[in-house]
Amino acid sequence: MQLTAQGGNMVVDFYPVKYADNTVSDRLMLKIVTFMGSGQSKRYITKKDFQREVDSRINAYNYEVTDMHDIPQLFNSALACCC
């Protein structure tokens, strides 16, 4: 899922995650934040946090859903320091 802020300066992309054996995680999502076309951060978040963040950005900050990402991205353990 892609969320875009009013004005289009901030974009947040969320992708499902898959492991090397091609199983899709039922717990994690990859979150990528872009500001004015420049990548700011990549990290894994739980699906529970994903749902909270989507609800918050849409309902409180008027972000719009601008795309749906359904192709799982390969898990990278280097990004998994906090999950």
Q: What is the pLDDT of residue 81?
A: 60
Q: What is the pLDDT of residue 76?
A: 85
Give me the residue label for tokens 């898990």.
Answer: 75
Task: Please state the three-class secondary structure of 19-43 as a single string.
Answer: CCCCCEEEEEEEEEEEECCEEEEEE
- Taking only the tens place, the pLDDT of each residue in 22-68 is 999 999 999 999 999 999 999 999 999 999 999 999 999 999 999 99
**33 against 80, higher pLDDT:** 33
Give the pTM. 0.90
Residue 83 has pLDDT above 60, yes or no: no
Domain boundaries, the chain: 2-79
Q: What is the pLDDT of residue 12?
A: 98
